[in-house]
């Protein structure tokens, strides 16, 4: 979440005063917000894809073999990076004087998240992580609907802002996975299994 935090702080300094000046022109705010959302998702997705596809061997390579058990958890949680920009529209709510709506949404989201994770936790850490991602995805969809209603956006505009970065991320992830599979097939010692064995040997 740290890269997105820095990204959102940077865009906020520019977007909030711009949105406030155009508060009587919701169509302009809508276009700008969709543009920010599109490229934020693209940037965060480009960070998430390598974590999903290359968590093993990246995690053991960077942090050490003792972190190998975290690989599966990282793969499950990484897609949340793509969802974060869809949950962020503070500038829109603030500029249009609708912070009460944002506060209510955040309160409901927090309550549902805690209840869902509490239900899934006895099933294990991975189950809790999957539940967290699922709740975040649903919350992202609800928040998109709220923003759409506030800015009078069309469904085509809204889906277009998400579809483009999602398509790019899926394509790059597929290409990355294909290259990794070919590398593992041609050079077994350099694939995921090879890296895992190397780290296990080092640990022993």
Model pLDDT for residues 9-34, shown as the tens digit of each residue: 877 788 888 888 888 888 888 888 88
User: What confidence tens digit (pLDDT) does each residue in 32-83 have?
Assistant: 888 888 988 888 888 888 888 888 878 888 888 888 888 899 999 998 988 9
Contact by Cβ (8 Å): 29, 50? no
The chain-wide mean pLDDT, for the chain, equals 83
Torsion (CA) 38, 82, 167, 158 in degrees, nearest 10: -40
Predicted confidence (pLDDT) per residue in 128-187, tens digit: 999 999 999 999 999 988 888 888 888 888 888 888 888 888 888 888 888 877 776 776
**Residue 120 pLDDT more than 60?**
yes
| CB of 48 closer than 8 Å to CB of 169 | yes
Asked if 153 contacts 34 with a C-beta cutoff of 8 angstroms, the reply is: yes
> What pTM was computed for the model?
0.79
Of 88, 75, 85, nearest in space to 48 by CA: 75
CA dist 54 and 79 (Å) reads 13
Residue 193: pLDDT above 50? no
> What's residue 140's pLDDT?
92
Which class for 85: exposed (0-12), middle (13-18), buried (19 or more C-beta within 10 A)? Answer: buried
């Amino acid at each position: 979440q740290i890269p997105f935090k820095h990204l959102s702080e940077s865009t906020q300094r520019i977007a909030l005063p711009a949105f406030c000046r155009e508060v009587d022109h919701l169509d302009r705010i809508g276009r700008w917000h969709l543009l920010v959302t599109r490229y934020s998702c693209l940037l965060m997705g480009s960070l998430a894809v390598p974590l999903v596809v290359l968590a093993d061997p990246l995690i053991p390579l960077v942090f050490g073999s003792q972190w190998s058990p975290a690989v599966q958890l990282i793969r499950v949680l990484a897609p949340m990076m793509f969802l974060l920009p869809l949950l962020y529209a503070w500038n829109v709510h603030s500029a249009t004087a609708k912070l009460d709506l944002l506060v209510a949404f955040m309160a409901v989201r927090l309550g549902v998240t805690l209840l869902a994770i509490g239900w899934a936790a006895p099933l294990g850490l991975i189950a809790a992580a999957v539940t967290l991602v699922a709740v975040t995805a649903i919350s992202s969809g609800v928040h998109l609907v709220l923003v759409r209603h506030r800015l009078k956006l069309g469904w085509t505009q809204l889906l277009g802002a998400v579809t483009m970065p999602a398509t790019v991320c899926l394509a790059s992830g597929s290409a990355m996975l294909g290259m990794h599979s070919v590398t593992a097939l041609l050079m077994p010692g350099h694939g995921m299994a090879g890296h895992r064995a190397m780290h296990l040997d080092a640990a022993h």
